[in-house]
Amino acid sequence: MNAIESKPQSAAARAAWWTEARLGLFLHWGLYSLPARHEWVKSRERLTDEHYQRYFDHFYPDLFDPAAWAQAAIEAGMRYAVITTKHHDGFCLWDSELTDYKVTHTPWAKDILGPALDAFRQAGLHVGLYHSLIDWHHPEFPVDAFHPQRDDAEFKAKAGGRDIANYRKYLHGQVRELLTRFGTIDYLFFDFSYADRPDGKGPGDWGSDELMAMVRELQPGAIVNDRLGIAGDFVTPEQYQPAGPMRQAGAPVLWEACQTLNDSWGYDRDNLQYKTAGMIVRMLVDGVSKNGNLLLNVGPTGRGELDPRSPAILAEVGEWMRLHGSSIYGCGASDFIAPPDARYTQRADRLYLHLFAWPYRHVHLPGLAGKVGYAQLPDPGSAGGPASSRSASGRAVFNLGRPVSGDATDSALLAPNARLQVSNFALLVPNVRNASSAFELPNGPGAGRHQRRGQHHRAGAGESHAQAVAGQGPHGQE
């Protein structure tokens, strides 16, 4: 196909759908899913091409069902999906004309990428491609500190004449295939540059400026990340939550935290450090409150289905999003300062307050005295109506009463005075089961019931990290 017809767009215009979406699904899938020991297994275990070949020779994902992946994303409240085309091991999930190291030469013998993108689009998701700049299988990719044969002196001696320029032609040729054979691509995640490391590689090695120009020519509406080593449309903090809205050279930038559901990107059978739905919701809320997105990764198994634990967690997140998605979609940071253990998200004249810990009887909202005209819990089981409130020392003070209960996170909707162009609050309160095991509720009606539940709570994987994130102020320093 030819280049997608479109006028040049600004980064903000290209990313408009993305800042509306706020939550996406990341899928790392390839040969590494068969050994099921992390997507870097070839490098970590110094596996040779000959050893790794066994996974190529037995790649047959008989349970591959991209429609099921898409449905899981939709039900989780996600609005875009990003899939690996090729990871660092060099294995391609499409029928590339530039290599034999591809899915159509495995026993599966069929394209993976095309059907996956078709399923995502049919479900209403925007589509994105992850593409590795690194390729440990290519005969011209120079051996460096990440290469599986980095400690093999004989191999390194034989590979001494490798020319990155030859690999660069291959890299550009494959990117051109991806941009011209699969329809409109909304998002590109290149991975990654490391010019500051021993034998590292960066923009000059990849031909990053030329790659970016190719994207702008062939897919002018696509947003591109920052890992080419040059400025892109958004930056990509990995496995951490920024302390505040991200900035570069003093200016705000679009950003997206990419996080794994457990501790691995590719399927890792023995890695059971799964994040709870409550922790994921906190990360999502925390990111949106700082003008960021969350790209949550799941690694399908070697047979092609989502790992056994992920669907239930995603479903819990989806139930929270069903009730509270209006506080996420299209929202961003607020100029108001949230109280401790809380976050604000805001969309136009609508302000949402997310509580990460239920306060003692009252919640104090600095700077909002006299500005809130209505307050309501949006939880369908709540009584609704205005919350009792008063003003004190420039703060709006709300009497919340007893904690409410629910499967993931309960919430309240509060509407400030319309004349102030802030017409709604949402008070979103995590269920005590998703709070810290050390969290204690105040004395009062119903407290004992919730305290007993809290005493039996077992902190899920990473919850101590979630507490640390929850404790940061929305405008704190990292």
Residue 381 sits at the vertex; the CA angle it makes with 376 and 77, to the nearest 5 degrees, is: 85
Confidence class for position 407, pLDDT limits 50, 70, 90: very low
Element containing residue 214 per DSSP (H, E): helix 208-218
> What is the C-alpha to C-alpha distance for residues 147 and 156, in angstroms, rounded to an integer?
10
Whether 206 shows a pLDDT value over 80: the answer reads yes
Confidence class for position 403, pLDDT limits 50, 70, 90: low
Whether 241 shows a pLDDT value over 60: the answer reads yes
**What is the pLDDT averaged over residues 383-392?**
52
User: In Å, what is the CA distance from 177 to each residue of 88, 105, 172, 182, 219?
Assistant: 18, 18, 9, 8, 12
Whether 250 shows a pLDDT value over 70: the answer reads yes
Instruction: Calculate the average pLDDT of the chain.
Output: 83
Determine the pLDDT at residue 13: 95
Omega before residue 192 within 30° of 0, cis: yes
**What is the pLDDT averaged over residues 268-294?**
96
Query: What is the full DSSP assignment across 324-341?
Result: HGGGTTT-B--SSPPPTT
Domains with residue ranges and CATH for the chain: 11-327 (3.20.20.80), 342-471 (no CATH)
C-beta pairs of 237-244 under 8 Å, 24+ apart in sequence: 241/283, 241/286, 241/287, 241/469, 241/472, 242/287, 242/290, 242/292, 242/478, 243/472, 243/476, 243/477, 243/478, 244/290, 244/472, 244/473, 244/474, 244/475, 244/476, 244/477, 244/478
Determine the pLDDT at residue 380: 52
Tens of pLDDT, residue by residue over 285-308, are 999 999 999 999 999 999 999 999
Determine the pLDDT at residue 9: 84
Confidence class for position 412, pLDDT limits 50, 70, 90: very low
Determine the pLDDT at residue 4: 46
**Strand partners of residue 156:** none
The more confidently predicted of residues 67 and 340 is: 67
Tens of pLDDT, residue by residue over 339-348, are 998 999 998 8
Q: Considering only CA atoms, which of 457, 368, 460, 362 is closest in space to residue 420?
A: 368
Confidence class for position 147, pLDDT limits 50, 70, 90: very high
Determine the pLDDT at residue 376: 64
Determine the pLDDT at residue 368: 80
